[in-house]
Chains A and B, each alone.
Chain A
Amino acid sequence: MSPDDSQITDEDFVRLLTSYHRRMLHYVCALVTNRAHAEDVLQEVSIALWEKRHQYDPDRNFFVWMRGFARNKVLDYYRQQSRAPAQLSEETVHRIIERVDAQQHAVEDQLVALRGCLQDLPEQQRLLLAKFYEPLSNVELIAEDLNIKSSTVYVRVHRIRKSLLKCVHRNMNRMGVFV
């Protein structure tokens, strides 16, 4: 096998990046909870991946390779944030990353469990959640639509997320997921 055979074409690399985009977004969002910031971090990750694309060995798992870049960019993000005193320390972020990494193999099962739980939600709650998670959603506008206070929107979403979390874990246990 010649050295060139071990590399993928730029076209294939773009295809890989595109097909893993949502999975990468999920990973970064699990570490950076603000969606806009997470998308910025993901953009940084994509640029870094593109710059290092020739180092990618197609025999390796692309997602595992990508996670290494994402971890570094997430740590960079928190280092920058620490100058504005409103975020987590590097030590804590390392603890979170370790835990998130340990669960990556089960993300698909979690999504299956979540799918079932969302179906069981009352329609009103599902619609509120959909509005809340819409890209560029505005809580003030949601509150205005529902004729409630913004703080009430957050309280309701908190309750829904708590019940979804319980439901997902219950379903995961029922599914007998291996860890």
Chain B
Amino acid sequence: MQNRPSGFGNPWLQLGLSVACVFVSELLLKRGATDVAEPDSALSWTGVNGLASPLVWWAILLIIASFVSWLYVLRYIPLSLSYPLSRVVDILVPMGCWIFLGELISAVRWCGIALVVIGLALVAKPIAKMEERL
């Protein structure tokens, strides 16, 4: 992780941007796929009919943006660190539903979110120490 660029080129910032794009795109994809769902059609297993939804196209744009950031992240951060960290999106999605859509989160779901947070903290702590030394 030597010679890392700073500012907008900071790989940790790019990781955050990549996660934000994935977060929004997942919600758009679900809405878009539901809007044009054809469960009876065999072709719809391929997902191609999802392209009829404009929301899916917005999601694709965000996925491309997240992909570019992600490739940049891969250049500087080991996959075994960056990938677990990127899964913070798995708690952002239910949290987003709770905050923005007023959905209820059950006790079991809160426990799951807590486990992800502890796991992320375990993965991220050695990185914080590494940054201090640099």
A, B in one complex: no
Interface set of A (CB-CB < 8 Å, partner B): none
